[in-house]
Structure 1
Amino acid sequence: MNGEKWTLLFDGASNALGHGIGAVLITPENQLIPFTARLGFNCTNNVAEHEACAMGILAALEFKAKVLEVYGNSALVVHQLRDEWETRDSKLIPYHSYIKNLIEQFEEITFHHIPREENQLADALATLSSMFKISQGKDVPLIRIQNRGQPAYCKAIEEEPDGKPWFYDIKCYLKDREYPPGASENDKKTLRRLAMSFFLDGEVLYKRNHDMVLLRCVDAKEAMEIMIRDP
């Protein structure tokens, strides 16, 4: 497995809020492993790019990768590490030597330049870390990404006070053209307008959404059973 190809994406961010770096390591099985850090010293954007590249390469070595493809949107970093451009900036020369020493530990490593729009995840990580102010010795803020497969309002289901489902009046109107007892003319007009978005098939009521897909209407009890069964 160690001889299989790994991929690294890196980016640095330097702005008025601070300096951050981001890297994404992609395993041979296409699993994404993100890394990010805030730089606690003043630096240029080119320095931040080198820091991001070094962080990602070190991570690849820790995972014992031997074949690595490196992608970044910094033409300077990529061309200098490919020895196509000379490194003249005194601030970058130590980085160049350091990363070159790391490169020697791989069986094969290549560097590729990509546009920023193709490096959005690493760019987002770098920008995010540049925005957090982290004091020395303090805990690093933990950001957890949850997967939510349904809108938040789907959790706010209440029992109908009269024991009837929320769509009862609409269903009765479509089935028998009946209005609720005591309905005013304005209530009737509103019910007719609402009913235009629903479709009754036997005893099952459906709602047409914006792309004309039919959504089955259920009451609060059935909705809760569905959420418990298919969270």
Structure 2
Amino acid sequence: MDVWTLVFDGASNALGHGIGVVLVSLEGNFTHITARLCFDCTNNIAEYEACALGLQAVLERKVKVLEGFGDSTLVIHQLKEEWETRDNKLVPYKEYIHKMVEHFEQIDYYHIPREDNRLVDALSTLSSMFHISGKDQPLIRTESRDQPIHCCVIEVEQDGKPWYHDIKVYIQKNEYPIGASETDNRTLRRLAMGFFLDGDILYKRNHNKVLLRCLHEISRSNT
């Protein structure tokens, strides 16, 4: 069964009110959505706003089967029809979401601890802290790095060759740079042990034994 995942959270604090949503597609792609609520509301209302925003985004993608996760015990149990919705301010949200649920073939809600919902919690808190003019929302890009940014700097020698040119030539042809000393050659052999050549593409092994494609090779292959 093709199941998408929706994780939502709302934040209400002295700085304002915000909501955050993360959608996870079948392929494992993440979509982050945030919004600032420019009206007075409780934390429970913010939770419902976040859920509704996420459901709208999922319906736009014509998803039929969904698993929803939130850290609000009250909202999750009310969405699952296990608890009554007695707060008059929450009743319209419950009815609105119920209408959207009719467009799904199956939707299941699950409660998760707050500590397992840190990403969406951070998004909702972030959106509550800043005033944004108009309807434009900033793009939030999340990436993972396994080494300091200065290690990714591409150094080009005066002759136009990348920093790893001698390493690549040594691996390809077992040749040393012209005029290099024995000490330089010994250093080159040691450095080459940390690289791997696949065809004409040079990769660097990191500490986790993962092959990292050299940035210069990527940029050249894309031109």
Q: Note the aligned Cα RMSD (angstroms).
A: 3.1
Query: 1:150 offset after TM fit, Å?
Result: 4.7
Partner of 1:119: 117
2:102 corresponds, among 101, 104, 121, to 104
Contact kept, 8 Å, 2:35 with 2:137, in 1: the verdict is no
Alignment of 1:55-204 (within 5 A): 55-135=53-133, 137=134, 139-145=136-142, 150-154=147-151, 155=153, 202-204=186-188
Aligned-partner Cα distance in 1 for 2:215–2:109: 48
2:35 corresponds, among 33, 37, 59, to 37
Q: Aligned in 2, Cα 1:14/1:202: closer, same or farther, shift over 3 Å?
A: same
1:22 corresponds, among 20, 23, 32, to 20
Q: Secondary structure at the match of 2:121?
A: helix
Stretches of 4+ aligned residues off by more than 6 angstroms:
156-159
Q: Secondary structure at the match of 2:119?
A: helix
Which residue type is aligned with residue 53 of structure 1? C
Partner of 1:192: none
Contact kept, 8 Å, 2:154 with 2:216, in 1: the verdict is no
Partner of 2:216: 228
Aligned-partner Cα distance in 2 for 1:230–1:56: 36
Contact kept, 8 Å, 2:45 with 2:90, in 1: the verdict is yes
Contact kept, 8 Å, 2:36 with 2:128, in 1: the verdict is yes
Aligned-partner Cα distance in 2 for 1:109–1:53: 12
Count of paired positions: 179
Q: Deviations over 1:180-205 (max 9, x none)?
A: xxxxxxxxxxxxxxxxxxxx993449
Q: Secondary structure at the match of 2:128?
A: helix
Q: Aligned in 2, Cα 1:81/1:146: closer, same or farther, shift over 3 Å?
A: closer
Alignment of 1:38-53 (within 5 A): 38-53=36-51
Partner of 1:188: none
Aligned-partner Cα distance in 2 for 1:81–1:69: 12
Which residue type is aligned with residue 153 of structure 1? H
Aligned-partner Cα distance in 2 for 1:158–1:106: 55
Highest CA radius of gyration, 1 or 2?
1
Q: Deviations over 1:113-162 (max 9, x none)?
A: 00011111211111111111123x36434445566665343449698xxx
Give the structure-2-normalised TM-score. Answer: 0.68
Q: Secondary structure at the match of 1:202?
A: helix
Any unmatched runs of 5+ in structure 2?
158-180, 196-213
Give the structure-1-normalised TM-score. Answer: 0.66
Which residue type is aligned with residue 70 of structure 1? G
Q: Aligned in 2, Cα 1:143/1:72: closer, same or farther, shift over 3 Å?
A: closer
Aligned-partner Cα distance in 1 for 2:68–2:120: 12
Aligned-partner Cα distance in 1 for 2:123–2:138: 13
- Identity within the alignment, %: 55
